[in-house]
């Protein structure tokens, strides 16, 4: 399992690095593809017990809205995102007036679709906003280093030292020791990254950022675990051997991306 995790992670690394360095439309297309895959996996999780097709109207409207949100972020028109979400809800309401009688669970399915739009493309679009700003490539790598090294630190600290369960009702494998190891790893790699690549940043706000990401990123992991446990799904997919689905790999990034973006905008 360890070998699979490392090999599948290394396999996608060159493409990820190239997309970040290229920026612009190439990076936005990369994020668009990731958003569609992750949103599909999300629908697979939440609709698991209902048997609802991923090609039915609600998911299709969701996929279209997903691409439009990413396009708005790419074009610097993030103020239009609320409009897109509003249109998505209005369309669902319109469809629901005709579908509700034949499909009493439509309202619950609609709520899950709206949650998915906010959860995947809206949160992930902050990565594009970060990349399109000053020192964008460095900041995206900053985000990924904080999250991924925090995840690695938590994994190995939990494996070797984990004793106290962190949240057994959601994720029995998570431990307090693992969470602390992840936090230490995030602070350590963040300090090194800032020193070598973003030395002009003040250390005080950066330390606060490291702590916030070190706490909030694992919450993203736990949130997806809640979704999977509620729907009796083990992995979001099988696209990455050793990691499960793409959503399993980026769940922490989804929660951390807005944190890094707004820190960058308002506190750095």
Task: Report pLDDT digits (tens) over 186-236.
Answer: 999 999 999 999 999 999 999 999 999 999 999 999 999 999 999 988 877
Please tell me the predicted confidence (pLDDT) of residue 49: 81
Tally of CB atoms within 10 A around 94: 10
Please tell me the predicted confidence (pLDDT) of residue 30: 97
Integer Cα distance of 127 and 264 in angstroms: 12
Stretches where the chain sits below pLDDT 70 are 1-11, 237-243
Please tell me the predicted confidence (pLDDT) of residue 9: 60
Please tell me the predicted confidence (pLDDT) of residue 11: 66
Please tell me the predicted confidence (pLDDT) of residue 1: 45
Instruction: Give the per-residue SS3 of the chain.
Output: CHHHHHHHHHHHHHHHHHHHHHCHHHHHHHHHHHHHHHHHHHHHHHCCCCCCCCCCHHHHHHHHHHHHHHHHHHCCCHHHHHHHHHHHHHHHHHHHHHHCCCCCCHHHHHHHHHHHHHHHHHHHHHHHHHHCCCCHHHHHHHHHHHHHHHHHHHHHHHHHHCCCEEECCCEEEEEHHHHHHHHHHHHHHHHHHHHHHCCCCCHHHHHHHHHHHHHHHHHHHHHHHHHHHHHCCCCCCCCECCCECHHHHHHHHHHHHHHHHHHHHHCC
The angle that helices 2-22 and 24-46 make with each other, rounded to 10 degrees, is 140
Please tell me the predicted confidence (pLDDT) of residue 70: 97
Domain ranges of the chain: 24-131, 135-268
* pTM listed for this prediction: 0.93
Tally of CB atoms within 10 A around 117: 22
Instruction: Give yes or no for a contact between 244 and 5, defined as CB atoms under 8 angstroms apart.
Output: no
Integer Cα distance of 241 and 202 in angstroms: 39
Please tell me the predicted confidence (pLDDT) of residue 121: 97
Give the pair of three-digit tokens for residue 258.
């807005």
Please tell me the predicted confidence (pLDDT) of residue 20: 97
Task: Return the residue matching tokens 């820190």.
Answer: 263
């Amino acid at each position: 399992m360890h070998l699979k995790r490392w090999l599948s992670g290394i396999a996608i690394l060159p493409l990820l690095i190239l997309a970040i360095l290229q920026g612009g439309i190439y990076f936005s297309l990369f994020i668009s593809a990731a958003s569609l895959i992750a949103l599909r996996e999300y629908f697979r999780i939440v609709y698991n017990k209902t048997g609802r097709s991923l090609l039915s109207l609600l998911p299709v409207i969701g996929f279209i809205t997903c691409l439009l949100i990413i396009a708005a972020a790419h074009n610097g028109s993030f103020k239009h995102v609320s409009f897109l979400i509003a249109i998505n809800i209005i369309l669902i309401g319109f469809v629901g007036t005709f579908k509700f009688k034949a499909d009493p669970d439509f309202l619950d399915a609609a709520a899950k679709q709206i949650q998915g739009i906010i959860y995947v493309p809206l949160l992930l679009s902050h990565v594009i906003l970060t990349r399109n700003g000053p020192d964008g490539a460095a900041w995206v790598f900053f985000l990924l280093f904080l999250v991924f090294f925090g995840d690695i630190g938590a994994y190995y600290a939990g494996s070797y030292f984990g004793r106290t369960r962190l949240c057994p009702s959601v994720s029995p494998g998570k431990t307090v020791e693992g969470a602390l190891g992840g936090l230490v790893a995030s602070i350590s790699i963040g300090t090194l990254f800032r020193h070598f690549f973003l030395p002009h940043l003040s250390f005080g706000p950066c330390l606060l950022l490291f702590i916030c990401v070190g706490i909030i990123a694992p919450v993203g992991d736990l949130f997806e675990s809640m979704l999977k446990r509620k729907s009796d799904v083990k992995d979001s997919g099988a696209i990455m051997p050793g990691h499960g689905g793409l959503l399993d790999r980026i769940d922490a990034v989804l929660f951390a991306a807005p944190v890094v973006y707004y820190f960058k905008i308002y506190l750095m």
